[in-house]
């Protein structure tokens, strides 16, 4: 092979020399003959190419050398070899690239400029508002001042309704963060290019760019309501995950019943579609409307259905309808009273069931009634807002039926009773202890353990223990990666990551 | 040294212009260039331009910008003549400058092609009497294939297999070590064979070559190191 290449070299050299001298035509022909004779693969191709090139170079019409020599000796520079359209295209392309770079650069700097720009400020009525200040609208009374309106320098407004309070927790050039502690507010966010508004209502977060809506949160009943007038928002919160709402839609969430309901404008006219929080936060102490037993039963059934699909089911199952709940064996002390009470529970008449048992009857029941009956009575007391009575029943259940699924259900319910909006640190700590007791060692089922673990994540988040919440969430997801509770925990984990960032900002 | 140069100079009167000629070997020519002898650039060009042009043609095929490239090679050479350490090896040094210029030209053309500011089509070879059309077609296909190789590999292949330089001369012209040029050649040949398969005019050459047939059968599996031998 090497010999072949060397032969190619020899022949090419001979050919080149032959071309260099005008008289070498005969030698070129001879070299070509030798080439043809030695044609073999690499060598042959190389030789053939070299020969052909040399012949072309020897062509009398080729003035390459003359032109190059003339230009060199004249000291002229090499002429531009690009055709006209290329000479035009290159500057155009450069201009285009510069324009694109400028546009992208400006867009990239937009957030920085927003960050360094003057932050939005606001007025409460006529005076300047300060960051973190609580703004309250008192209950209506004769001669009371009108409810304050928060007017922001970017043109946005937050109009608090009666018996509402809110706090502006952050202000920057893009917008503000407002925490609606209770009550309702009509919000208008002026849309701008860099707008970023966030409203918190209990555990719910509403992300806004530019829109008009009404937001309500009742801490006592844990009812959240969002009614859209214009634009689009994104809502995050327990039981709903993340949801987008557009103009004409309304979202009602009742955390105490674990019920969420999204409606469009068509359902607005229905009486039941009235915002839930508007009922509880309108300044007066509203009594709950008396519903027929069938309606309440349907509501309970809806809650039960919700428990199966939503991330954070109730700690204990709500009482089943009368047709589905077998009447437990009556207690020996007052069998008829307990049976009747359980019938009321089955029919959804929780307060009636609660009122049927006086303290003496309750003591006897707590001592002798079966676990299922105690659980039903505890739930009835809880649904009737008799928190202390419910706590007593659950405690009895926990003590009497230790290390059983019923006891675990009682522990979950006790944790829930301690974990309420506005609960003190001590109460939250108690809730945490009850949740820790829901373990396999104490007879809890796998489902109960899963619910308790998810609730611990929720509780840590409520206690603003972000790192702990994240750690618990990781533990949870390592054990249960799928399921409704897992979906909720994943959302919480995301919020945990976002929270420190928000604080830094 | 100026006297020496003068001793090797001769005056040639053509009309009103007096052309100062230059005679002497390459070393003297280099000295004359360094001393600014007025006839040295012409002597340099007349003496070495045919060889440089031939090398450019080997490297690039017939290019419409050949005259420009040739001018550029000599313009660079005149500008950088002081960098030549061994005046006796002027021709090899000029080949190195030509390789450098050709590499820049290949890369510029690749950029233009990438930007779609110039046509992709291979330049048609000029028609010349007495040249086998099959050879012209093979030449076109060969350079079309070489166009798909990286500039360094293409240069190594052209210098070795078309220009027929020895390995050390190829390495010197490319400005790299012998080991590097061997590796480049191996890669270039392997890739050339793989791409040449798709060109029917090159098929007879591939079929006739046991070496290339082996490379083709290996399906790029060998190291192709034989190219360097």
Q: Which of residues 88-107 of A touch B (CB under 8 A)?
A: 89-90, 93
Q: Structural domain tally of chain B? A: 2
Which residues of chain A have a CB within 8 Å of the CB of B165? 9
Tell me the per-residue pLDDT of A445-489, one tens digit each, with 9 for 90 and over: 888 888 888 888 888 877 888 888 888 888 888 888 777 677 777
Residues B139 and B220 in one domain: yes
- Residue A384's pLDDT band (cuts 50, 70, 90): confident
Which residues of chain A have a CB within 8 Å of the CB of B111? none
Up-side HSE of residue B154: CA atoms within 13 Å toward CB?
A: 26
CB contact under 8 A, A53 and B209: no
| CATH code for position B144 | 1.10.10.10
Q: Which two tokens stand for residue A321?
A: 């309808």
Residues B93 and B52 in one domain: yes
To test the contact with chain A by mutation, choose from B72, B205, B222 the residue with the greatest count of A C-beta atoms within 10 A, namely: B205
Which residues of chain A have a CB within 8 Å of the CB of B141? none
Distance from CA of A86 to the nearest CA of B (A): 6
A158 CB-contact burial (10 Å; exposed 0-12 / middle 13-18 / buried 19+)? buried
Which residues lie below 8 Å from residue B91, measured CB to CB, with a gap of 6+?
A: B26, B48, B51
pLDDT of residue A316: 40
CB contact under 8 A, A50 and B112: no
Q: State residue B10 phi and psi, 5-degree precision.
A: -140, 145
Distance from CA of A100 to the nearest CA of B (A): 17
Using CA atoms of A39, A42, A47, A53 in order, give the dihedral in degrees to the nearest 10: 130
Please state the rounded mean pLDDT for residues A66-93.
70
Closest residue in A to B141 (Cα–Cα): A49
Which residues of chain B have a CB within 8 Å of the CB of A74? none
Residues B97 and B198 in one domain: no
CB atoms inside a 10 Å sphere around CB A208? 25
pLDDT of residue B155: 92
To test the contact with chain B by mutation, choose from A5, A59, A88 the residue with the greatest count of B C-beta atoms within 10 A, namely: A5
Among A268, A258, A265, A263, smallest CA distance to A306 is for A258
CB contact under 8 A, A72 and B161: no
Closest residue in B to A82 (Cα–Cα): B118
To test the contact with chain A by mutation, choose from B108, B128, B160, B204 the residue with the greatest count of A C-beta atoms within 10 A, namely: B128
pLDDT of residue A13: 58
Which residues of chain B have a CB within 8 Å of the CB of A89? 117
Which residues of chain B have a CB within 8 Å of the CB of A14? none
Rounded-to-integer distance, Cα B19 and Cα B11, Å: 6
Residues B104 and B131 in one domain: no
Residues B104 and B144 in one domain: no
Distance from CA of B32 to the nearest CA of A (A): 16
pLDDT of residue B181: 92
* The pairing of beta strand A134-137 with beta strand A127-128: unpaired
Final residue belonging to a domain, choices B101, B120, B139: B120
Closest residue in A to B57 (Cα–Cα): A53
CB atoms inside a 10 Å sphere around CB B1? 10
Q: Bigger pLDDT: A53 or A107? A: A53
Residues B63 and B38 in one domain: yes
Closest residue in B to A49 (Cα–Cα): B139
Please state the rounded mean pLDDT for residues A176-205.
86
Q: Are A341 and A357 in contact (CB under 8 A)?
A: yes
pLDDT of residue B177: 93
Residue A188: alpha-carbon gap to chain centroid: 23
Residue B108 near chain A (CB below 8 Å): no
Residues B132 and B217 in one domain: yes
Residue B229 near chain A (CB below 8 Å): yes
Question: Pick from B46, B71, B135: which is nearest to A78 by CB?
Answer: B71
Q: State residue B178 phi and psi, 5-degree precision.
A: -65, -40
Which residues of chain B have a CB within 8 Å of the CB of A5? 160-161, 164
Which residues of chain B have a CB within 8 Å of the CB of A65? 49-50, 53, 70
Closest residue in A to B66 (Cα–Cα): A64
Which residues of chain B have a CB within 8 Å of the CB of A24? none
Rounded-to-integer distance, Cα A358 and Cα A314, Å: 27
Among A460, A447, A444, A457, smallest CA distance to A410 is for A444
To test the contact with chain B by mutation, choose from A63, A64, A66 the residue with the greatest count of B C-beta atoms within 10 A, namely: A64
Final residue belonging to a domain, choices B99, B120, B141: B120
Residues B59 and B70 in one domain: yes
Q: Which of residues 10-29 of B touch A (CB under 8 A)?
A: none
Task: Enter the DSSP assignment of A270.
Answer: S
CB contact under 8 A, B131 and A19: no
Among B127, B205, B81, B185, smallest CA distance to A52 is for B127
Which residues of chain A have a CB within 8 Å of the CB of B126? 56, 59, 62
Please state the rounded mean pLDDT for residues A226-250.
84
Residues B10 and B102 in one domain: yes
Rounded-to-integer distance, Cα A255 and Cα A238, Å: 8
A309: pLDDT strictly greater than 70 = no
- Residue A85's pLDDT band (cuts 50, 70, 90): low
User: What are the pLDDT tens digits along chain B (229 aa)?
Assistant: 444 444 344 555 444 545 566 777 888 888 888 888 888 888 889 899 999 999 999 998 877 788 889 999 999 999 888 888 888 888 889 999 999 999 999 888 887 776 655 444 444 555 556 667 777 788 888 888 888 899 999 999 999 888 888 899 899 888 899 999 999 988 988 888 888 888 888 877 776 655 555 555 444 444 444 444 4
Residue A357 near chain B (CB below 8 Å): no
Q: Is A443 left (phi over 0), alpha (psi -120 to 50) or beta?
A: left
Residues B59 and B137 in one domain: no
Q: Are A257 and A303 in contact (CB under 8 A)?
A: yes
Q: Bigger pLDDT: A260 or A291? A: A260
Look up the domain containing B97 and give its range.
1-120
Which residues of chain B have a CB within 8 Å of the CB of A71? 67, 71
Distance from CA of A103 to the nearest CA of B (A): 22
A118: pLDDT strictly greater than 50 = yes
Which residues of chain A have a CB within 8 Å of the CB of B136? 52
Closest residue in A to B70 (Cα–Cα): A68
Among A161, A154, A71, smallest CA distance to A114 is for A154
Among A224-233, A410-419, A490-499, B200-209, the least confident range: A490-499
- Residue A183's pLDDT band (cuts 50, 70, 90): confident
Q: Which two tokens stand for residue B181?
A: 């040029």
pLDDT of residue A160: 87
CB contact under 8 A, A78 and B53: no
Residue A187: alpha-carbon gap to chain centroid: 21
Which residues of chain A have a CB within 8 Å of the CB of B226? 1
Residues B55 and B72 in one domain: yes
Final residue belonging to a domain, choices B91, B120, B149: B120
Question: Pick from A19, A39, A56: which is nearest to B128 by CB?
Answer: A56
Among A302, A388, A394, A384, smallest CA distance to A349 is for A384
pLDDT of residue B179: 93
Provide the number of CB pairs (under 8 Å) joining chain A to chain B: 144
Q: Which of residues 184-213 of B touch A (CB under 8 A)?
A: 202, 205-206, 208-212
| CATH code for position B79 | 1.10.1740.10
Residues B144 and B177 in one domain: yes
Which residues of chain A have a CB within 8 Å of the CB of B57? 53, 56-57
- What's the mean pLDDT when you consider all of chain A? 72
Rounded-to-integer distance, Cα A361 and Cα A425, Å: 34
Question: Pick from A12, A67, A82: which is nearest to B163 by CB?
Answer: A12
To test the contact with chain B by mutation, choose from A39, A53, A84 the residue with the greatest count of B C-beta atoms within 10 A, namely: A53
């Amino acid at each position: 092979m090497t010999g072949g290449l060397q032969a190619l070299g020899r022949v090419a050299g001979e050919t080149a020399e032959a071309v260099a001298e005008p008289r070498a035509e005969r030698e070129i022909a001879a070299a070509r003959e030798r080439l043809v004779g030695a044609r073999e693969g690499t060598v042959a191709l190389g030789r053939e190419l070299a020969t052909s090139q040399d012949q072309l170079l020897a062509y009398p019409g080729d003035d390459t050398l003359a032109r190059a020599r003339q230009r060199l000796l004249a000291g002229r520079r090499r002429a531009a070899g690009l055709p006209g359209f290329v000479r035009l295209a290159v500057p155009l392309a450069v201009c285009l690239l510069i324009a694109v770079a400028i546009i992208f650069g400006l867009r990239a700097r937009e957030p920085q400029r927003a960050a360094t720009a003057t932050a939005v400020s606001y007025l409460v009525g006529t005076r300047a508002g300060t960051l973190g200040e609580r703004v309250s609208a008192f209950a209506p009374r004769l001669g009371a001042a009108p409810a304050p309106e928060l007017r922001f320098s970017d043109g946005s407004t937050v109009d608090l309704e009666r018996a509402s309070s809110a706090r502006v927790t952050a202000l920057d050039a893009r917008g503000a963060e407002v925490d609606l502690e209770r009550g309702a507010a009509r919000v208008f966010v002026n849309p701008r290019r860099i707008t970023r508004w966030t409203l918190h209502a209990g555990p719910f977060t509403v992300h806004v760019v530019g829109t008009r809506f009404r937001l309500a949160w009742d801490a006592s009943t844990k009812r959240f309501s969002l009614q859209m007038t214009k634009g689009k928002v994104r809502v995050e919160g327990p039981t709903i995950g993340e949801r987008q709402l557009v103009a004409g839609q309304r979202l009602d969430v009742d955390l105490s019943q674990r019920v969420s309901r999204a409606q469009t404008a068509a359902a607005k006219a229905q009486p039941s579609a009235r915002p839930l929080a508007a009922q509880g936060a309108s300044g007066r102490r509203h009594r709950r409307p008396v519903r027929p037993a069938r309606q309440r039963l349907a509501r309970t059934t809806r809650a039960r259905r919700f428990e199966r699909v939503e991330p954070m089911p109730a700690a204990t199952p709500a009482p089943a309808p009368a047709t589905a709940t077998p009447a437990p064996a009556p207690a020996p002390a007052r069998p008829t009273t307990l049976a009747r009470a359980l019938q009321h529970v089955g029919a959804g008449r929780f307060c009636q069931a609660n009122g049927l048992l006086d303290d003496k009857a309750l003591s006897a029941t707590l001592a002798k009634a079966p676990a299922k009956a105690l659980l039903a009575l505890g739930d009835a007391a809880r649904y009737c807002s008799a928190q202390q009575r419910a706590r007593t029943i659950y405690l009895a259940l926990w003590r009497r039926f230790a290390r059983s699924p019923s006891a675990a259900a009682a522990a979950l319910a006790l944790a829930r009773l301690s974990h309420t909006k506005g609960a003190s640190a001590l109460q939250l700590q108690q809730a945490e202890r009850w949740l820790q007791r829901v373990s396999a060692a104490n007879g809890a089922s796998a489902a109960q353990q899963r619910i308790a673990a998810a609730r611990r994540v929720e509780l840590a988040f409520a206690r603003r223990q972000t790192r702990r919440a994240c750690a618990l969430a990781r533990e949870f997801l390592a054990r249960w990666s799928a399921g409704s509770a897992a979906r909720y925990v994943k959302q919480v984990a995301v919020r945990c990551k976002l929270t420190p960032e928000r604080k830094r900002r | 040294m100026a006297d020496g140069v003068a001793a090797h100079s001769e005056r040639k009167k053509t009309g009103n212009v007096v052309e100062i000629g230059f005679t002497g070997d390459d070393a003297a020519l280099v000295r004359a260039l360094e001393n600014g002898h007025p006839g040295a650039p012409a002597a340099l060009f007349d003496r070495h331009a045919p060889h440089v042009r031939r090398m450019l043609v080997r490297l690039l095929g017939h290019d419409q910008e050949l005259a420009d490239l040739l001018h550029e090679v000599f313009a660079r050479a005149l500008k950088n003549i002081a960098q030549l350490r061994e005046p006796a090896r002027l021709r090899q040094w000029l080949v190195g400058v030509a390789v450098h210029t050709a590499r820049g030209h290949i890369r510029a053309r690749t950029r233009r092609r990438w930007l779609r500011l110039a046509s992709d089509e291979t330049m048609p070879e000029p028609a010349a009497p007495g040249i086998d059309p099959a050879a012209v077609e093979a030449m076109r296909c060969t350079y079309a294939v070489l166009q798909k190789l990286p500039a360094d590999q293409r240069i190594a292949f052209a210098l070795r297999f078309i220009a027929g330089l020895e390995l050390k001369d190829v390495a010197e012209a490319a400005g790299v070590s012998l080991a590097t040029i061997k590796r480049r050649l191996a890669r270039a040949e392997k890739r050339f064979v793989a791409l040449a398969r798709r060109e029917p005019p090159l098929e007879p050459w591939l079929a006739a070559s046991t070496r290339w047939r082996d490379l083709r059968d290996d399906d790029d599996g060998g190291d192709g190191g034989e190219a360097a031998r």
